[in-house]
Chains A and B, each alone.
Chain A
Amino acid sequence: MIRSICTLLCCFVLATICHADERSADGRLTVIRAGRVITVSGETYTPGMVILEGSKIRLVGKNLEYPASARVIDAGGETVMPGLVLPRTRFQLDSYRRAGVHGAKSAADEIVPSEIEWEKLASAGFTTVAFVPAGTGIPGFASAFRPTRSDEERLRQENSYLRITMRNPVQDRNVLKGALEKAKKEIEKVKKAREEWEKKQKASEAKKEAEKKEPPKPTPPQPRPRPGEFEEDGPAAEPQPTPEKKPEAPKEPEKFTPPKIDPNVQPLVDRLEGKDVAIVFDVGGASDLRHLDATLELYPEVTGSYALSLGFYDDPRPLVELLGKRKALVMLTPSIDTLPYTVNLFNLPAQAARAGCRLVFVPGSDSERSFERLLAQVADVVRAGLDRDAALRAMTIHGAELLGLASRIGSLEKGKDADIVFVDGDPLSPGSSVTRVMIDGELVWRKKR
């Protein structure tokens, strides 16, 4: 019996080795051996291993077999976890304010990569950093970057999420309402043009059938409003010709060219048409949320995550209750503050998680010191009652979800990007610090001894 099990095991081991060897033909595998591997999405292995293939994660487990040719990184007793996600920052960007609707802009427009000390971001354990446009109203899209060494590879996603503020309802309500109304008008405009086009098409078809003569002349392709900005909804992709016409279409190169849409409301148009555009609403207190709801009353398609920036006199409790009910993804700073007009301490992250919110942590300010302190701050909040897993997710996978990158980053899973952070101890212990940071399988930062 035992013998048979042994042979089976041997076979299995051999098979894995062979398999691995096969794979290593096109690139060496990298093996990380660590005292602990926190996958965030699944189990925690103590000790554990992560096997990387190129820039992707291939296997995560406890005792994995790997070929002798693999490059081994022995992290000893250190902990390995997915790279941290910084969901909102303006680190080293100029301070300016813009108001109004700027859906065509993104933070990537204003970033000069050589002027940002990427190493400072990497050293805090961040492997994905979302820069946001400043200002009020709809200042534009946040852009996700990787603090890698080379400038070319840094931009991960230009349009991560659209930032909409509702901090001062007197102004912000009008801006948002105006933008939504405009978006609706633009949709109507395109619809009307399409109907007219269809009518013309039908008329010309009838004519053609009567005459059966010369082919129609092709229309010139319409230039895109901004290259790379709205790739998925260029004129070709948006309202496609009706499917029933397709079979007889091939001869006809004529296509419907929709009228131009104001690029600044394009993201809202997409959202109203059911496309996937991530939105993050910046709200202060619970009242702002009520005002936001009142503004979006007629637009149930427009939903999103929330970024909280509570004022000193804002009671967080009603806000937590409201957001918890809708199981919202909520971006906040992990800190424990007093309730307004009292000396009562309120663990906002813990209460929000308990109410049903999914948290995304963001450092208190855009300074190197604040970035470095994030882990310790989270540790404080966990010590005061926040669920440990919720805290770990809030720094990784939920941030990835907020940016719409959850399929690529945020946890140690097969097929995801090899963005890994090494910590000399438990990440949620105040004494621990980041020792190594890996992005796409490459070590980009190492703590100096």
Chain B
Amino acid sequence: MSARTMISALLALLLALAPSGAVRTDEPRRGRPNAEAPAEAKRADEEKSEEKEDEEKDHFLAITGGTVHTVTGPQLEGVTILCKNGRIHAIGREIEIPEKAERIDASGHHVYPGLIALSSSGLVGYGDPEVSTDVYDLELTLGLAGGLTTVVAGTTAAKLTHGTLDGLILRRNLLESISYSTRSPSSRARFREALDRVREHLRALERYDDEKKRDPEAKKPDEKWIRGPYSTAMRLLKKEAIGRATANDAGDITALARLAGHYGFRLVIQGATEGWTVPRELASAGVAAIITPRSRRDRDERLVRPNGSSIEMARILHEHGVPFGIVPPSSFISTWGLAGRDLLHLPMEAAHAIRGGLPEQAALEAITIQAARILGLDHRIGSIEEGKDADFAISDGPILSYLSHVRWTVVNGRVAYDKAKDSLFDHIRPGGDFDAPPPPDHWPRSLGEEW
């Protein structure tokens, strides 16, 4: 009798363990659309199952020494960051580093969270990046050399996973493009009409849910018409996507901010050159901006109100509490001659905002955690915190300085770019130290003994 109870107890235990084991099997972080479900719950699940998993399979990366800019927390000196299976596992002074862990000795370097490009072209593939990305592509590598780890391409947020497709997709269908300009009143009216109709539909759905409880034969509202602009409106109002609109005129910006405030959807305005003239409208509607601090727009002298661009734009938005991210003038890597205006120089663009009076910390946040918050991905990326993705840009000086070079870029706990191993910038001497010995394969390159 006692043996039987023991067996049944064991069986029960096994059954209880089974589902948590199953979670692990599809967990390897291939950016499937479901990968970002309730973050906390999922993370807890993952940690539980990870503990059970064979220790041999775990991949560790330890970053020692270096000045760690956590962005959301204090600046830390002499700490170790231990990453496990692509996530930050522990940060601290006395951390036991597993023997087989990959190590980066970052002493004398600065460790930042991986930078985020809120708009990009050509770094990952077009359409669905998972099937079109060349993971060894030069532009992808150059993006990594610029410290980028996450880019938004089209409506998808993707990681620059050099050499592998694993974990490339961070989230699909993140954004919905909106066109709402004063120049086309009819399209504005159409979009408002779509929002109204969908909002009415959502209310009808709520009523239907209530009715169903009382009357099981209640008829569900028709959903066939929800296509095109209506589906955009639906996704916005259900908060499944973030609206993205390009606007530079103060009038357009105000109109958009009022629209978002009125209907209660999340909106980000790209450009926002005159945003500094209407910061209160933006702040009260909770609308974010993607700005280019260096962009110029001449003042129209016929207008009484302040207009045109301002170098102080970023500072003014910051002081009014408008969340903003920073992108360079070109969303490409190559600018065909206009050096310093492309995604290779994202930190330089943030430095331009500092020229306009933005605090340095806010400038750094604009290309890391603020960008992550705008995308709704701040539980995964944007700062150095335990449990977040192990994405780092490790530079040989403060990253906002024009003198600094990225030395390593880490994506999902893997070293995706190493300046010393990649021939791109290997020949550039840090701090103009021309006495340093040239790298072994420096120009003029030898052609090998046989040649």
Interface pair B165/A291, CB less than 8 Å apart:
yes
User: Is B361 an interface residue, CB under 8 A from the partner?
Assistant: no
Q: A345-B447, A383-B450 are in contact. Are A287 and B135 (CB under 8 A)?
A: yes
In the complex, B438 has a CB within 8 A of chain A? no
For B225, the chain A residues whose CB sits under 8 A away are none
Whether, in the assembled complex, B423 has its beta carbon less than 8 Å from a beta carbon of chain A, the answer is yes
Q: Mark A374-409, 1 if CB is under 8 A from B, else 0.
A: 000000000111000000000000000000000000
B451 & A345 in contact (Cβ 8 Å cutoff): yes
Asked if A286 CB lies within 8 Å of chain B CBs, one says yes
Q: B132 an interface residue at 8 Å Cβ cutoff?
A: yes
In the complex, the answer to whether B165 meets A290 with C-beta atoms within 8 Å is yes
Q: Report yes or no: A290 in contact with B135, Cβ–Cβ below 8 A.
A: yes
Name the distance in Å between A321's Cβ and chain B's nearest Cβ. 10
Residue among B125, B127, B136, B450 making CB contact with A314, cutoff 8 Å: B136
Q: B437: CB under 8 A from chain A?
A: no
Verify A290–B138 contact, CB threshold 8 A.
no
Q: In the complex the two chains form, is B136's CB within 8 Å of A315's CB?
A: yes
A286 CA to B137 CA, complexed, in Å: 10
Most buried by A among B127, B135, B164, B423: B135
Q: A169, B132: Cβ atoms under 8 Å?
A: yes
Select which of B131, B134, B165, B445 is within 8 A of A344 by beta carbon: B445
Query: B173 CB to closest chain A CB, in angstroms?
Result: 18
**B163 contacts the other chain (Cβ, under 8 Å)?**
yes
Let me know if B423 and A342 touch, CB within 8 A: yes
B131 touches A313 (CB 8 A): no
Identify which of B133, B441, B445, B448 contacts A287 (C-beta below 8 A): B133
* Chain B residues numbered 407-447 whose CB sits less than 8 Å from any CB in chain A: 423, 441, 445, 447
Closest-by-CB residue of A relative to B447 is A345
- A285-311: which residues lie under 8 A (CB-CB) from chain B? 285-287, 290-291, 294
Contact A384 B163 (CB under 8 A): no
**A342, B134: Cβ atoms closer than 8 Å:** no
Partner of A285, one of B132, B134, B165, B445: B134
Complex formed: what's the CA distance from A318 to B135 in Å?
11
Q: A170-B127, A294-B165 are known contacts. Are A342 and B445 too (CB-CB below 8 A)?
A: yes
A345 touches B165 (CB 8 A): no
Is the pair A170, B132 in contact by a Cβ cutoff of 8 Å?
yes
**Chain B residues positioned under 8 Å from A313 (CB to CB):** 138
Chain A residues closer than 8 Å to B451, beta-carbon distance? 345, 384
Shortest C-beta distance, A22 to chain B (Å), equals 53
A397 to B319, CA, bound (A): 74
Please name all residues of chain A whose beta carbon is closer than 8 Å to the beta carbon of B445 when the two chains form the complex. Answer: 342-344
Contacts of A58 in B (CB 8 A): none
Interface bits B126-167 vs A (CB < 8 Å: 1, else 0): 010001111111100000000000000000000000011100
* Chain B residues positioned under 8 Å from A340 (CB to CB): 138
> For A169, A174, A318, which residue has the most chain B Cβ atoms within 10 angstroms?
A169
C-alpha spacing A286/B134, complex, angstroms: 8
Do A170 and B136 contact each other (CB < 8 Å), given the known contacts A290-B165, A342-B445, A383-B450? no
Does chain B have a CB within 8 A of A96? no
B450 — which chain A residues lie within 8 A by C-beta? 383-385
A186 CA to B185 CA, complexed, in Å: 56
* B127 neighbours in A (Cβ, 8 Å): 170
Shortest distance from the beta carbon of B422 to any chain A beta carbon, whole Å: 10
| Given known A342-B445, A384-B450, contact A173–B136 (CB-CB < 8 A) | no
- Whether the Cβ atoms of A290 and B131 lie closer than 8 Å is no
What residues of A have a CB within 8 angstroms of the CB of B163 in the complex?
286, 290, 318
> Bound complex: CA of A428 vs CA of B68, how far in Å?
58
A287 with B136: CB separation less than 8 A: yes
* Residues from chain B with Cβ under 8 Å of A343 in the complex: 445
Q: Which residue of A has the minimal Cβ distance to B445? A: A344
Q: In the docked arrangement, what's the CA distance between A294 and B133, Å?
A: 12
Across-interface contacts of B135 in A (CB, < 8 A):
286-287, 290
Chain A residues positioned under 8 Å from B132 (CB to CB): 169-170
- Contacting pair A169 B423 (CB below 8 A): no
With a CB–CB cut-off of 8 A, which chain B residues contact A286? 135-136, 163
Report which residue of B136, B165, B445 has the largest number of chain A beta carbons within 10 angstroms of its beta carbon: B136
Q: Which of B71-109 contact A (CB under 8 A)?
A: none
| Complex CA distance for A173 and B448, rounded to whole angstroms | 39
Asked if A287 contacts B423 (CB within 8 A), the reply is no
Q: What's the minimum C-beta distance from B134 to chain A, rounded to whole angstroms? A: 4
Residues of B within 8 A of A341 (CB): 138
Contact with B along A163-174 (1 / 0, CB 8 A): 000000110011
- Counting chain B CB atoms within 10 Å of each CB, which of A285, A291, A314 scores highest? A291
Q: What does the 1/0 interface line of B241-263 toward A look like (CB < 8 Å)?
A: 00000000000000000000000
Chain A residues lying within 8 Å of B423, measured Cβ to Cβ, are: 342
Closest-CB distance, B49 to chain A (whole angstroms): 21
A169: which B residues are within 8 A, CB to CB?
A: 131-132
Give Cα A340–Cα B139 distance, bound, in whole angstroms: 13
Q: Tell me the bound Cα distance from A314 to B138 in angstroms.
A: 9
CB distance from B191 to the nearest CB of A (A): 32
Interface of chain A residues 318 through 346 with chain B (CB within 8 A): 318, 340-345
Interface centre among A174, A287, A294 (most CB of B within 10 A): A287
State the Cβ distance, B395 to closest chain A Cβ, in Å.
23
B131 touches A291 (CB 8 A): yes
In the complex, how many angstroms separate the beta carbon of B120 from the nearest chain A beta carbon?
Answer: 18
Smallest Cβ-Cβ distance to B140: which chain A residue: A287
Docked CA distance A344–B451 (Å): 11
Question: Which residues of B298-324 have CB atoms within 8 Å of chain A's CB atoms?
Answer: none
Kindly list the 7 A-B residue pairs having the minimum CB-CB distance in the complex, ordered from nearest: A287-B134, A170-B132, A287-B135, A286-B136, A384-B450, A287-B136, A294-B165
18 CB contacts below 8 A, A to B, read A169-B131, A169-B132, A170-B131, A170-B132, A286-B135, A287-B133, A287-B135, A287-B137, A290-B164, A290-B165, A291-B131, A314-B136, A342-B445, A344-B441, A344-B445, A345-B447, A384-B448, A384-B450
**Given A344-B441, A384-B450; 18 other pairs, CB 8 A cutoff:** A169-B131, A170-B132, A173-B131, A285-B134, A285-B136, A286-B135, A287-B134, A287-B136, A290-B135, A290-B163, A294-B165, A314-B136, A315-B136, A318-B136, A340-B138, A342-B423, A342-B445, A344-B447
Task: State the B residues within 8 Å of A (CB).
Answer: 125, 127, 131-138, 163-165, 423, 441, 445, 447-448, 450-451
